[in-house]
Amino acid sequence: MRKRVAELTSNLLNPFLVSLAVIVLIAVDSTSSVFDALKWVVISLALSILPVLGIIYYLVHHQRIEGISIRLRQQRGRVYLLAGACVVVSCAVLFYLGAPPVLVALFVAGLLAIVIFMCINLWWKISVHTALVGGSVTVLIVLYGFAGAISAVLLPAVTWSRIELKHHSPAQVGAGALLAALIVVGVFHLFGLVWPVGAV
């Protein structure tokens, strides 16, 4: 039962769904119409999440990697490279099209995280699950204050699930969450988004 709960938690709080949720929240909050929000969500998905997810499924289908969660550190390098390339394109397109600054900042933070995590992955399997949740929680806290802090309840859940499934050590999940949070704070500070959106 513990393993089933851990697998369900890990699957629900996977990097792709967490990224999608944060992108939708930011797009809705930083635009004045449903059409604009939908436009930025679709562009973001088409340039980042969907290509990476599609390639991962392709690699799994052709037995190039063992599974969607990519437990083997040695198999993560090519996915980091692919994700990095997609986020570079995303940043350029979003900036060129005049996307809301907070959405651009989100992708810049994601790109920086990918580069740093890819380097760390050369010798240590830092947790991407806790990084995405930790970074997302930090984004919500920075933008929405106490209301955003409620999302912090997700972090212990995903941390427990990754350890329970023996995919990561406590150090790896802790480092992933902490490093992602620091990256978000640093990038959002450079973009002048350290206060709630409504107060900027």
Instruction: Please write down the HEC assignment for all residues of 30-84.
Output: CCCCHHHHHHHHHHHHHHHHHHHHHHHHHHHHCCCCCCCCCCCHHHCHHHHHHHH
> Domain ranges in the chain?
2-199
- The pTM (predicted TM-score) of the whole model is 0.89
**Could you read off the pLDDT of 41-56 as tens digits, one per residue?**
999 999 999 998 888 8
Q: Once rounded to an integer, what is the mean pLDDT over residues 168-188?
A: 95
Q: Which of 10-14, 36-40, 130-134 has the lowest mean pLDDT?
A: 10-14
Mean pLDDT across the chain, nearest whole number?
90
Residue 156 pLDDT > 70, yes or no? Answer: yes
